[in-house]
Amino acid sequence: MELNPDEILFNFRYNIIYYITACITLFFVAEFYIKNKSHTKAQNFFLILIFLCLIILFGTRGYNVGTDTLNNIKYFTGRVQIKSFSELNDLGLYTISILLQRISNNITDFLIVLAILYIVPFYISFRNLKLKNPLIFFFCIFSMFFFKGMGINIQKQGLAFSFFILGVTFIFKNIKFFGYLLFGLAFLFHASIIIPISIFFVSFKIKKTNWIFIIYLLSTLLALVNFNLNNILSQIPIVNILTESRLDTYYTDKGNYKIGFRPEFWIFNTIFTIIGYITYRNIQKFNSNFLNDNYKTFYVAYVLLSSFFFLMFSARFSDRFGLMSWLLIPFLLMPYLQNNTKVKFLNTLTVYILCVILFIAFKYI
């Protein structure tokens, strides 16, 4: 698809910010890998500057940058009027639109507020996690191909996931009230977030991990035969109410989207399933109480969300369900960014190289 001039300029600026971030991050990676020095305060300083640049870039983009941008501002401009809640699927976005209309009628202000709501929860999450290398950890997220899309295109899902991750960090801090509140806010922005929220709580209860691989294998086999998950979801009370408005259209209106088993996505998720397993089996080497207590939760959630993703291959926009698992990839890599321990071929430097490769490779896929 041919890009318009605004999109070309936006992508150029985005890439410049990324590569500058990559150069700055490489310095801290080298310091940590060679000298085991973190320079956490300096990383936080650069992280704030990069976040400010991204907020300005996302917030001042042209209205034709991102296929859903015009849809995202429809409530703010008053182009769509909601007369009853039964007509509304986007309560979170609608509420922000109504509140901001009382302050400003400038669309750029609206987009900047959305950018702030997308970016700032990540920063608070990093503070909650007490990361030694917050900039390197963010670089892992920044390198993922979905980060830009959640900031300019599928913003409602991006906001939902941003609040979801923040909620998870509060629960890990044992401040559960704020965690549950943030989960509720995430749900208001995009109802699909109920899937990772549910799986997150299930992952807490899992004692043995062996059976999740059986689910992973069964999901792969069902995806190969083009299994229609919607036939089952539509029969489950409450769940069918949450999914019918969106999933029904994904299955009935396929459009030009590629439907069926996606080997490239399966291989991608399986690579990180293997990396996560290797890390999980060696988690004691990292000498971290937080990782010892919580890494299994991240890993189990990732495998289960990947399994759900495979089952959605028969639906349109299945990659949007892939986001539910992909956002956990940096957390699978987190041990190598918190500790200088090496496990097989995995260490801080190889994680950095992997992130750069992923960013470059997915630009051409």
DSSP assignment string, 60-102: TS-TTSSTTHHHHTTTTTTSS---SGGG-S-HHHHHHHHHHHT
Residue 124: C-alpha distances to residues 121, 129, 196, 290 (Å): 5, 9, 20, 17
3-state secondary structure of 340: coil
φ/ψ (deg, to 5) at 73: -105, 10
Retrieve residue 49's tokens: 């500057």
∠ CA(198), CA(199), CA(204), 5° rounding?
A: 105
What 3 state SS string does 143-154 have?
A: HCCHHHHHHHCC
Burial of 229 (0-12, 13-18, 19+ CB in 10 A): buried
Across 23-33, average pLDDT: 96
Model confidence at 123: pLDDT above 80: yes
pLDDT band at 362 (very low <50, low <70, confident <90, very high): confident
364: which residues sit within 8 A by CB, 6+ positions away? none
Across 252-276, average pLDDT: 80
Share of the chain above pLDDT 70, in %: 86
| Candidate from 88-92, 153-157, 249-253, 270-274 with smallest mean pLDDT | 249-253
pLDDT band at 80 (very low <50, low <70, confident <90, very high): low
| Candidate from 10-14, 163-167, 240-244 with smallest mean pLDDT | 240-244
> For 274-283, how does the pLDDT look when each residue is reduced to its tens digit (9 = 90+)?
999 999 999 9
3-state secondary structure of 260: coil
pLDDT at residue 204, rounded to an integer: 85
Amino acid at 169: T
Q: How many helices (H) and strands (E) does the chain have?
A: 19, 0
pLDDT at residue 240, rounded to an integer: 47
Model confidence at 343: pLDDT above 80: yes
Packed helices 318-326 and 289-311: angle between N→C axes, nearest 10 degrees: 170
pTM: 0.89
pLDDT at residue 234, rounded to an integer: 52
The rounded Cα 146 to chain-centroid distance in angstroms is 7
Q: DSSP for 146-204, please give it.
A: HHHHHHHTSHHHHHHHHHHHHHHHHHHTT-HHHHHHHHHHHHHH-GGGHHHHHHHHHHH
> For 143-181, how does the pLDDT look when each residue is reduced to its tens digit (9 = 90+)?
998 899 898 888 888 999 999 999 999 998 888 999 999
pLDDT at residue 246, rounded to an integer: 52
